Amino acid sequence: MNYVLLFPDELRAESLGCYGHPVVKTPNIDALAKEGVLFEQNYTAHPVCGPSRSCIASGWYPHVDGKRTFYLPVETDPNMFVPLREGGFTTAHAGKDDMFTNPAMGKVFTEFLPFHRRDVVKEKNLKAISEARYSMLYPPVADEDADELGDTKTTRDAIDFIQRHANDDKPFFLMVSWAFPHPPYTCPNHYYNMYDPETMPISRDITWNDDKPDLYNVIRKYREDDLYDPKVYKKINAVYHGMISYVDMLVGQIVQALKDQNIYDDTTIIFCSDHGDFAGDARLLEKWPSDMTDMITRVPLIIRRPGGAKNHRINTPTQSIDILPTILDYEHISLNYQQFGVSLKSQIEGADGDAERAAYTEGGYDTHEPWCFEPTCFKGTYLERPQIEGTDYYPKCMQQQDVPDSVCRVLMQRYKNWKLIVRTNGQNELYDMEQDPLEKYNLYGKETYKDIQNQLSQKMLNWMIHSADVVPIDAAYRGGKR
């Protein structure tokens, strides 16, 4: 069986048609859901690109090995891609390479296809609209320049890989990592203007911030939110969903390539993302390392496997770190180390989800680890550069340096219909996600909910103890000599 993992950047689950969005057009992604299994409550292990992808590769939560910030060396760390390669697969990665260091990517994957940046955006010197300099809302890309977008080139590379390996004797695993819909918010003009900002349903208005931790209003302050016309956020939301429809078109191209090579029925397709985006909701944009809302932490997971269940929906918690353990389970490939992902094989074949499972997400940084904060964490990487006032990430970097408490360490637990969020600064949260799916009403500390709060806290503590470290598995034990 071949495997194709389609992995856009910063795509939240609620913004797809198959996850209930009433306006967005995602026919190709929706078709995969109808032909396979959709996991309703899937969560990332971390709300930032690099750490999230590292967790998927290793099956470890961030606290196990400290992968909570950008660009840590991972050349010798265990991961599940190498066993797949050693198990007889041609493994390839196309696009954004945030899981490993660049040299390591070439060692982990059989083929390391290039990451094409948004060269056309840079060449055209597109910048955020002048009336909202920190909005990350850019003018559209001309339709005639669409072929030069990085994601378009990445898709061509992926299709070329499929064509070259369709008739191989050995199966392949291909991960396609697109940059869209990560900001800046821009895309080809056709998609940029696909949705009317005035009719896009934005579920969370500015009052959503009223009962929230301080970090949200601090984000808005550093982004100069009070200077923007509120219509800017509506346009951001519309363009974000236009970018998603563009991704959906690319998904269709990959699917068609598999069909053209007559291997669609020999290929499992997995659709997921690293984390979500505020997308203008509550007058917020992009993401934040210590945010634990479903906007950021709940990401799509759709698995379409030939012979598997069709139009099957799982509404119990899962995690993106389950992807590779599921593949290894199907392929009877064992690991020589402990990891925390769970195989979803039974659900793919029609079983119900695990109602007793909890999902966990971690984020944020401590003041005793200043090397984790942006922009310090970029030292020695190609992203190391002075933060200049007026550029996209200036407010984000300045906020982390000026108000480090707003990006403190945090742990989130999603269990049954509850979400518990514990922060080191004491600004904790508790939500009944069945009655309050938009997380408007913080129940933490309220007397009526003390019992459930204590129960969830104890469950979280037990989980942290169980997953606090991993003990190496020695060769004798692996060989069954004990």
pLDDT digits (tens, 9 = 90+) for 148-198: 999 999 999 999 999 999 999 999 999 999 999 999 999 999 999 999 999
Q: What is the pLDDT of residue 474?
A: 74
Q: What is the pLDDT of residue 482?
A: 44
Q: What is the pLDDT of residues 290-334, one digit of tens each?
A: 999 999 999 999 999 999 999 999 999 999 999 999 999 999 999
How would you write the chain as a 3-class SS string?
A: CEEEEEECCCCCHHHCHHHCCCCCCCHHHHHHHHHCEEEEEEECCCCCHHHHHHHHHHCCCHHHHCCCCCCCCCCCCCCCHHHHHHCCCEEEEEECCCCCCHHHHHHHCCEECCCCCCHHHHHCCCCCCHHHCCCCECCCECHHHHHHCHHHHHHHHHHHHHHHHCCCCCCEEEEEECCCCCCCECCEHHHHCCCCHHHCCCCCCHHHHHHCCCHHHHHHHHCCHHHCCCHHHHHHHHHHHHHHHHHHHHHHHHHHHHHHCCCHHHEEEEEECCCCCCCCHHHCCCCCCCCCCHHHHECCEEEECCCCCCCEEEEEEEEHHHHHHHHHHHCCCCCCCCCCCCCCHHHHCCCCCCCCCEEEEEECCCCCCHHHCCCHHHCCCCCCCCCCCCCCCHHHHHHHHHCHHHHCCEEEEEECCEEEEEECCCCCEEEECCCCCCCCCCCCCCHHHHHHHHHHHHHHHHHHHHCCCCCCCCHHHHCCCC
Q: Could you tell me the pLDDT band of residue 145, with boundaries at 50, 70 and 90?
A: very high
Q: What is the pLDDT of residues 51-69, one digit of tens each?
A: 999 999 999 999 998 888 8
Q: What is the pLDDT of residue 73?
A: 47
Q: Which residue has the higher pLDDT, 100 or 341?
A: 341
Q: What is the pLDDT of residue 478?
A: 59
Q: What is the pLDDT of residue 98?
A: 82
Q: Which residue has the higher pLDDT, 411 or 108?
A: 411
Q: What is the pLDDT of residues 206-249, one digit of tens each?
A: 999 998 999 999 999 999 988 888 899 999 999 999 999 999 99
pTM recorded for the entire structure: 0.96
Q: Could you tell me the pLDDT band of residue 104, with boundaries at 50, 70 and 90?
A: confident
pLDDT reading at 74 higher than 80: no
